[in-house]
Amino acid sequence: MNDGGGVVISFGTLAAGLVTIAIFSFLYRDNPLYRAAEHLLMGLSVGFTIVLLWNSVLKPKILTPLFVEGDFFALIPLALSLLMLLRLRSAWSHLSKPVLAFVVGAGAGVSIPAMFDARILKQISATIEPFAALGETTSVSGMAIIEALVGLIGCVTVMIYFFYTRPDTRPVRAISTIGVYFMMIFFGATFGYTVTSRLTLLIGRLEFLLGDFLRIL
C-alpha cells in the first residue's frame, strides 16, 4: 500500500499499526475500537491454540497412531479427553472428576520434583558453593565472598521471619527485621524490573508507530 509519498507500507505493518492505535485508545476511555482489537486478539489466540493442539497433540499422538498405525492404546487418551468434555453438562460432570484428578496428580508429580530441585536445592547449592571453594586451591575473589555472605544472611533471616513457631525474643525479632529489609529490597527490585520491562515494550510500540507506520522518525 502506498502512503502518498512514494513509500510502500505492507499490509502487515498497516494492520499492526491500526490495532496498536486501537489498543492505545483505551487510555482515553473504553470504546468500540478497543473492544474490537480485544476480541481480535482473543480470537487469534484461540485459533492459534486450536491449530497448535491439532498439529502437536491430536493428530500426531492420537489420530495418526489410532487410524494409520493401528495402535489402539491411543483410545485411552482419546477417551479421557472425551470425558473431560463432559464437564460442559452438569448432569454428567462427575464423570470428568477422575480424569481431572489424574491430570492434576500427574502434573504435580512431574512439577514438584523439578520445582524442588530448581527453587530449593539449586539455591542452597549456589549459597554455599563460594564457601566450599575457600578450602580448595582455586582462588576466590573478595567480592564473591561478600556476595555469598549477603546471600546467606538474607536467606537465613528471611527463613527466620517465616518461622512462626519460634520464641518471640528480642534477638529473634532483630533478625526477623533484617529479613523484612531483604524482602523489601527484593520486592522493590522486582517492581523496578517489571516497570522497566513494560516501558521497554511501550518504547518498542512507539518506535514502530512513529517509524515504520507513520514514517515520522
| Predicted pLDDT at 16 | 92
Q: 65 CB contacts (<8 Å, ≥6 apart)? A: 71, 73, 74
Which one, of 154, 153, 146, lies nearest residue 130 by Cα? 146
Q: Is the separation of the CB atoms in 4 and 204 below 8 Å?
A: no
Residue 133 has pLDDT above 80, yes or no: no
pLDDT tens column, 137-155? 566 677 878 888 888 899 8
For every residue of 158-198, DSSP letters joined together read HHHHT-TTS---HHHHHHHHHHHHHHHHHHHHHHHHHHHHH
Residue recorded with cell 485508545: 25
Residue recorded with cell 500426531: 60
b/e string for 163-190 if b means 16 or more Cβ within 10 A?
A: eeeeeeeeeeeebbebbeebeeeeeeee
| Predicted pLDDT at 3 | 52
pLDDT tens column, 36-61? 999 999 999 999 999 999 999 889 99
Greater confidence (128 vs 33) lies with 33
Band (pLDDT 50/70/90 cuts) for residue 1 is low
Q: Is the separation of the CB atoms in 74 and 62 below 8 Å?
A: yes
Band (pLDDT 50/70/90 cuts) for residue 191 is very high
Band (pLDDT 50/70/90 cuts) for residue 157 is very high
Residue 125 has pLDDT above 90, yes or no: no
CA atoms within 13 A on the CB side of 198: 6
Kindly state the average pLDDT of the residues 88-113. 90
Residue 171 has pLDDT above 80, yes or no: yes
Query: Which amino acid is present at 33?
Result: L
Q: Is the pTM of this model over 0.85?
A: no
Percent of the chain with pLDDT over 70: 93
Q: Which residues share a beta bridge with 8?
A: 2
The Cα-based distances of 127 to 59, 146, 154, 216 in angstroms read 46, 12, 10, 51
Kindly state the average pLDDT of the residues 120-145. 74
b/e string for 3-18 if b means 16 or more Cβ within 10 A?
A: eeeeeeeeeeeeebbe
Nearest 5°: the CA angle 76, 81, 86 is: 125
Kindly state the average pLDDT of the residues 110-119. 90
